[in-house]
Amino acid sequence: MDLTDEIDVLNEELLLINYAGPTTNNREYLFEKYKDKLHINKDLNRALISFQSNKNEPFYRWFKYKEGFSSAFVSKMLELFGKPYTGQTVLDPFAGIGTTITTSIKQGFNAIGIELLSPGIYATNARIAAHKININDLNRIILKIENLSFDDISIPQEYFFRHLTITKGAFSPETEIAIANYLYFVDQSCKNNELKSILNFAVSSILDDVSFTRIDGQYLRWDYRSERKLKSKFDKGRVYNFKPRLLDKLKIIQEDINSLKSVNGLNDYKLIQGSCLNKLHEVENESIDLIITSPPYCNRYDYTRTYALELAFDKIDDKKIKELRQTLLSATVENKSKFAELKQIYANLGKKADFDIVLKSNQNQLALKEVIRNLYFHKKELNNKNIPNMVKNYFFEMSFVIKEMSRVLKPNGKIIMVNDNVRYNGDEIPVDLILSEFAEDFGLQTDKIWVLERGKGNSSQQMGNHGRKELRKCVYVWAK
């Protein structure tokens, strides 16, 4: 078989030929292979490798981004594996709000981040700008904003919020006008790009507070006071008026910038907007000393819905939001296969051999085949029939990410990755072990897989059907 032909050996029909029923043999073999690498690390906890440890830190009061890890975790990894002020470069291919980038450049490392979604780009640029602006300039412009009228209806239309279908009606008419007034003022009155970055970020960070919506899981939940036709009488609580809420946020930003400790200059950084599936190719071979990252989990989480208001603020329309959803790493049931797209990318780069290597690794991954085969077999029992394809696509795409991370990593470099195992229909998917086997196919070795003392419980629905069983929450340490 020509490996570059789209004859996917992990497709449903081929996997279920002569299949008698669910098995766990290959996953048990994989566990035996890696069990000596699995170590409970009592220095790690759920708060440290999640947003929770950031709650009371400066900068993290600015936004409600709950994905990714804490700056304390990044600092700990830099202390363990990095050498500051020696010219080392740290990479995060899933940069989020820039925790790896900002922590690294403040601690004597150069940094590169790749991030697809504009809310993360806004947040990272604002956090870095905070170290560069003149605090007196910020104080002066906040004073002007305090005296600004927010009710001028003659503001040019280009400054009004451009809604997506899923965000229409999110604000009261008064809030719509206030947002336009503020954006017009910033555009006309602020010529310093760093200061403008912070001021624009401030309004994007309060959109949820001043709207009739609240993030609930991966969706926007609508308050009964909105003009939408709703089946329930959900009350989100207080819907804030725009100007006082904005000034509250600007005061927090002002306080945090005033409290900044002196930094002897920030090291160099580069922030690339786009998907790491194609943007990683822009990073040179063996140019990275350390990678600290946390990819999307294989858990159906759709960032384009969670951050719909922030994306609309960036003037992304309905067509682009659909394209963006498909560009994301496949972790939702709506994602389609990127096989043809990745094949074309590697052909254009003259890397057909690399594509073949990754494809062959997928075809030889027996534990992954077992997982997907079991999911297809139980497809009718799953709450969404596209879950098997989502899982298949997730691992296929992550294998390319791992291949490229191996390529850009220097010899003796380290990759630190945070990820969760997942469970569907009561069947655990050992994400940590499958990805580690991919890593070893691509020239990396698994030094250790740190396991958190307390894992992740399954959902109440899964608990009722399959009993309570914790899933491993892990930090992988791979070396080249």
Can you give the pLDDT at residue 52?
A: 62
pLDDT averaged per 10 residues in sequence order, the chain, 480 residues? 49 68 88 96 84 63 74 94 96 94 93 94 89 91 95 95 94 97 95 93 94 84 90 91 96 87 71 96 97 94 89 93 93 91 96 95 94 90 91 96 98 96 92 97 97 64 52 95
Given a contact cutoff of 8 angstroms between Cβ atoms, the answer to whether 302 and 386 are in contact is no
Can you give the pLDDT at residue 150?
A: 94
Given a contact cutoff of 8 angstroms between Cβ atoms, the answer to whether 273 and 406 are in contact is no
Whose tokens are 């640029």? That residue is 125
pTM of the model: 0.91
What does CATH list as the number for 12-117+264-306+317-479? Answer: 3.40.50.150
Domain(s) labelled CATH 3.40.50.150 in the chain stretch across 12-117+264-306+317-479
- Spatial distance between the Cα atoms of 257 and 312, rounded to a whole number of angstroms: 28
Given a contact cutoff of 8 angstroms between Cβ atoms, the answer to whether 280 and 342 are in contact is no
Can you give the pLDDT at residue 23?
A: 80
